[in-house]
Amino acid sequence: MDAAELSRWTRLAAKGGIGKCTASHDCVAEWNADLMFMEDDVITVLMQILNMDSVYLIY
């Protein structure tokens, strides 16, 4: 992801994305690129990944 694309996603996240959800459990990052969150964290949903059930781009 280049700097311009990252900037666009960050602006969308600042506006609330397409919605928000609350983490129901802890998700510990296993790789450097993984996002880690803890139970009850508020997560901003940016988009659903096409052709993948229940997979989303989040911030």
Provide the edge-to-edge strand list for the sheet that holds 42-48.
19-22, 42-48, 56-58
Q: Phi first, then psi: what are they for 35, rounded to 5°?
A: -90, 130
CA angle 25, 37, 54 (to 5 degrees): 65
Task: Count, in order, helices (H) and strands (E) of the chain.
Answer: 1, 3
Domain annotation for the chain: domains and CATH numbers: 3-58 (2.30.30)
| Contact between 45 and 58 (Cβ < 8 Å) | yes
The model carries a pTM of 0.77
Euclidean distance between CA atoms 13 and 32, whole angstroms: 21
From first to last of its 59 residues, the chain has per-residue pLDDT tens of 899 999 999 999 999 999 999 999 999 999 998 889 999 999 999 999 999 888 888 88
